Amino acid sequence: MPHIRMLACILRMQPKECLTSKRLGSANLIDSKHSMDGLSFVRFIELFVALGIYWPEMDHGKAVRRNGCPLLLLVKLMLQISVSAAQGLNELAKSAVVTFEPPMLHDLIEGGNRTVSVALKIPEPEFASLPDKPYQLSLGSFHPDIAASLSNADVTKSSFRFDNSSNYYTVDTAMIVQAKLLGKTGLRLRLVRAENWNEVDDSWKVPEPLDDSTNNILDVWVRRSLESEKLTHIFVASVVVLITFANILMGCELDMAAVFATIKRPVGPTIGFFAQFVIMPLLSYAIAKSVFVSRGLYSMALGLFICGCSPGGGASNFWTLLLDGNVNLSVTMTFISTLASLFMMPFWISMLGKEFLQGFSSETKIYVPYGKITRSLISLVVPLLIGVAIKKWKPEWAAKSRKIMRPFIIFVLIFVICFGAVANIYMFKMITMPALLGGLLLPWCGFMFGCFASIITRRPPGDVTAIAIETGIQNTGIAILVLKASFAQPDADIGAVLPILVACFTPGPLLLGAGVHMAFKALKKRSANTSEEKLPAVAQEIAAGGPSSVALLEQADAKMGEENGNEVLKIAEGTSA
């Protein structure tokens, strides 16, 4: 049925083509939904004409060309008009220049607003071909929920003034930009005929990456209020102190003899290092690109990538012990990855992380704060080494630290959950379906790839368990501190949402695995008890510590000999009688 296939082609093509109007030139001046400015309408009409001319006859199933139809002639005429209009407007979009003053807004506060001066410049030849009709100037937002402008200006050709020095016709207007929610977005100028004006503009909800060099995009960053940020600073400072003390206690708990013994057999630690600092960064980069960058959520992509580059978390040792894995290998991997993060995290951020540090305008330049990242990591690694030194030179202090280790960890968890929820209540607004998807995929795929890497290298089951758990569990505390202490707002606040979601989704597969593992252990124990109950009484007596099997055989032989002797006596008595 060719007509159905052609109709499906039309329906499949139109939405995608409507979005291409964003890339028509240096300024998206014409609304793609309400005017004949893009290739979408032209191709739609072309396919419509083809559908009318080559409509298959139902009786014969053959395409018959129809000529002389007045309706088709009218459609062809409309097509020619639309093509000429689209070409003229596309040329206008390519040649026009848009400037903003200030050129970017990077300090907007949630709920605040700012007035921006917008200048539209059109070259003289294109201005002469512009129809003398009323127009509407407005700003379209890529993410209206973050920032938007409800301002619009009535413009006619007489509103433009000619600049002799540049040969441009220019019109200036003021627009008010309103900040709504923490985030980053961009605003672009729209020029729409007054009769086609509509405040609802769905085409701006899907941003496209921009590579032009003109200031046609107003880059807008919205940050939280100063009061809210002060509370977050207090929370971060408190967490730094707590994690520093926790790392000292962790160093006191490390059995360096077991660590060095494990390092002497380097296959397991090498596989773990490869999974932790090669597989996980590349995996987090792929997830960030596919889930966040495609939606323009660069800050969330940065947060997920930083989390993927972080070392293994201390909780991996507990889960490895619970699942009967190689605990010494797990402890060794945690120690090595924590030290290696001092070099590997800056390396991966410099290689791939720069891609996520960008705005919506090509004029926005964001630099990676390598110095701050290095200082943050040093402040976390040094306490671990201090704890190792305490255990070596003051073992009695290390022994006392074991008594407060578990209560302190419980206190840290309660503090982070309670105070963190109050200080970072904004994060609940940032939890969206893409954020949940990214937070789920990173740890779950980490467990899977760590398991595959150890199985392919033919490691024993205990090593497979340790490597898989160590790969999937990231030190989200380090990721949050690096983001909060090193990166500017709003990247730091938005990016910190992802490590928290990763921490929330991490225990899921582990709890399931622990439940299955304990169920199998219970079944094995039950089957072993059943087998013992079915043993013969002699075996049970032997197992209980009774007479040995040799003694039982000797007793049986003696009894048989006594019975045989009695039989012989009876026979002898009968013979004598």
Q: Are residues 185 and 197 in the same domain?
A: yes
Distance CA 12, CA 275 (A): 41
Q: What is the pLDDT of residue 563?
A: 52
Rounding to the nearest 10 degrees, give the CA dihedral for residues 126, 131, 134, 140.
-50
Q: Are residues 192 and 237 in the same domain?
A: no
Tokens of 227: 């009061």
Distance CA 547, CA 550 (A): 8
Q: Are residues 59 and 167 in the same domain?
A: no
Residue 423's domain is classified under what CATH number? Answer: 1.20.1530.20
What's the one-letter identity of residue 516? V
Q: Are residues 461 and 366 in the same domain?
A: yes
pLDDT tens for the chain, 577 residues long, are 444 444 444 334 443 333 333 333 334 444 433 444 444 444 444 444 444 443 344 444 444 444 456 665 665 555 555 544 444 444 454 567 888 888 888 889 988 899 999 988 888 887 887 788 888 888 888 888 899 888 888 888 888 888 887 788 888 889 999 999 888 888 888 777 766 655 554 443 333 333 333 457 888 999 888 888 888 888 888 888 888 888 888 788 777 888 888 888 889 899 999 999 999 999 999 999 999 988 888 899 999 999 999 998 777 888 888 888 888 888 889 888 888 888 899 899 889 988 888 776 655 666 666 777 777 778 778 888 888 888 888 888 888 887 787 788 778 777 777 787 788 888 888 888 999 999 999 999 999 999 999 999 999 988 999 999 999 998 888 888 888 888 888 888 899 899 989 988 988 888 888 888 888 888 888 877 776 666 555 455 555 555 554 554 455 555 555 555 555 445 445 444 4
Q: Are residues 200 and 69 in the same domain?
A: no
Q: Are residues 218 and 270 in the same domain?
A: no
Q: What is the pLDDT of residue 77?
A: 58
Residue 572, in any domain of the structure:
no
- The residue range of the domain holding 233 is 226-520
Residue 566, in any domain of the structure:
no
Q: What is the pLDDT of residue 486?
A: 83
Residue 547, in any domain of the structure:
no
Residue 355, in any domain of the structure:
yes
Could you identify the residue written with the tokens 């139902």? 58
Q: Are residues 48 and 181 in the same domain?
A: no
Q: Are residues 352 and 207 in the same domain?
A: no
Angle (CA) 511 515 520, round 5°: 150
Number of domains in the chain: 3
Could you identify the residue written with the tokens 């995290």? 345
Taking CB atoms within 8 Å and a gap of at least 24, the contacts of 39-45 are 39/86, 40/13, 40/14, 41/82, 41/86, 42/79, 42/82, 42/83, 42/86, 43/13, 43/17, 44/10, 44/13, 44/14, 44/17, 45/75, 45/78, 45/79, 45/82
Q: What is the pLDDT of residue 418?
A: 78
Q: Domain boundary residue among 223, 249, 270? A: 223
Q: Domain boundary residue among 95, 115, 143? A: 95
Q: What is the pLDDT of residue 156?
A: 85
Q: Are residues 249 and 344 in the same domain?
A: yes
Q: What is the pLDDT of residue 8?
A: 40
Q: Are residues 286 and 336 in the same domain?
A: yes
Residue 515, in any domain of the structure:
yes
Angle (CA) 231 234 235, round 5°: 90
Q: Domain boundary residue among 180, 201, 223? A: 223
Three-state secondary structure of 302-319: HHHHHHHCCCECCHHHHH
Residue 556, in any domain of the structure:
no
| Angular region, 458: left φ>0, alpha ψ -120 to 50, beta rest | left
Residue 568, in any domain of the structure:
no
Q: What is the enclosing helix (H) or strand (E) of 346? A: helix 327-351
Q: Are residues 233 and 248 in the same domain?
A: yes
Residue 369, in any domain of the structure:
yes
Global pTM value = 0.69
Q: Are residues 398 and 502 in the same domain?
A: yes
How far is residue 473 CA from its own chain's centroid? 15
